[in-house]
Amino acid sequence: KKRGSVSRLGVVGSSPNPNKKKETIVCCNPGGEENWDRIRKASGSEGPFIVLNNAYSTTYGLGNKRADYEEAYYVKRISKGWIYRSFPGPWEAYLERPDCKVELLKSYRTKPELRECAELVRTESFKRFAINNDRWTSGFGGRL
């Protein structure tokens, strides 16, 4: 099978290749952060380590709490809006309006606390739209 520029495929626990110390490791949904170290160690690589679509988090906040990993692309739904980041850009707090369009409220140079972003978005939503900022299906009166 042709794999383009992919040099090899492996599974956790497979033998590391000593000639590939700088290879990039890409993991799809590897689980909790404790698994990240295990995967890195098992690979034997000192190169970049990329986690995609990690559905499991060990924290309540934004992303992970470890300083040795940085979120490159991140989207999180919060009450009345979204938190977004696309590396190397800033972290951004977006307000979702009643018409389902989004509006940037604030940019952060460093990763903010989830509580801070959620409070900002929720407060602004209530100030502008009161309880009318909810997603309703037009004509039915039912909630999406």
Model confidence pLDDT, tens digit, residues 72-129: 888 889 989 999 999 899 999 999 998 889 999 999 999 999 999 999 999 999 898 8
Residue-level pLDDT at 7 = 57
Residue-level pLDDT at 102 = 94
Mean predicted lDDT score pLDDT of the chain: 79
Residue-level pLDDT at 89 = 94
Ranges 16-25, 32-41, 67-76, 91-100: which has the least confidence: 16-25
In DSSP notation, the chain reads ---TT------TTSPP-GGGTT--EEEES--SHHHHHHHHHHHT--S-EEEES----S-SSSS-S-TT---SEEEEEETTEEEEEETTS-EEEEEEPTTS-EEEEEEESSPPPHHHHHHHHHHHHHHHHGGG-S-B-TTT--B-
Residue-level pLDDT at 114 = 93
Confidence class of residue 138 from pLDDT cuts 50, 70 and 90?
Answer: low
